[in-house]
């Protein structure tokens, strides 16, 4: 874009060069911010991994603690323990399905088998057992639970 006036042409070229220089500075700034954000993202990912492992550890400790309390209360035949902090009670628990070692999925009627991978439909099978139907290697059991209030 030449106007014919040499001074004007120089001014236009200087302006275009300064715009290019300003863009280069802006790109450098964007790159620096992007690198900072990437570092933040990596740090957050590491923290999520650490906290997830910690959460799993705490959950396992809690499960072990509750199981030990349940075992102690069962062995001492205590159904309820009241303390100033809480009341702990044994509960009957919900009935669940237990598959014995001699269980054979091929002996189940088709409506109690999930597909494509043949696995027992435990919800339907439990309902049938509760209604009095009998299946080899299958029984309904009620495991005790623990209530802390």
95-116, pLDDT tens digit by residue?
Answer: 888 888 888 888 888 888 887 8
Alpha carbon distance 124, 129 (integer Å) = 9
- Residues in the chain where the model's pLDDT stays below 50: none
Tokens read off for 91? 């509960």
What's the pLDDT at 4? 61
Alpha carbon distance 113, 43 (integer Å) = 46
- Among 130, 143, 126, 148, smallest CA distance to 92 is for 143
What's the pLDDT at 77? 93
Residue entry with tokens 């911010």: 33
pTM, whole model, 2 decimals?
0.58
The single-letter DSSP state of residue 109 is -
């Amino acid at each position: 874009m030449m106007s014919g006036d040499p001074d004007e042409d120089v001014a236009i070229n200087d302006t275009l060069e300064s715009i290019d220089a300003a863009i280069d500075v802006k790109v450098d700034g964007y790159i620096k911010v992007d690198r900072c954000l990437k570092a933040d993202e990596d740090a957050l990912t590491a923290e999520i991994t650490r906290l997830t492992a910690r959460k799993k550890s705490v959950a396992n400790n809690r499960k072990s603690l509750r199981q030990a309390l349940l075992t102690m209360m069962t062995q001492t035949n205590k159904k309820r323990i009241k303390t100033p902090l809480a009341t702990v009670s044994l509960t009957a628990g919900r009935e669940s399905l237990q598959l014995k070692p001699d269980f054979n999925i091929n002996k189940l009627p088709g409506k109690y088998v999930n597909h494509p991978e043949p696995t027992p439909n435990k919800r339907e099978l439990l309902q049938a057992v509760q209604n009095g139907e009998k299946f080899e290697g299958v029984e309904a059991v009620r495991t005790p639970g623990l209530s802390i209030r």
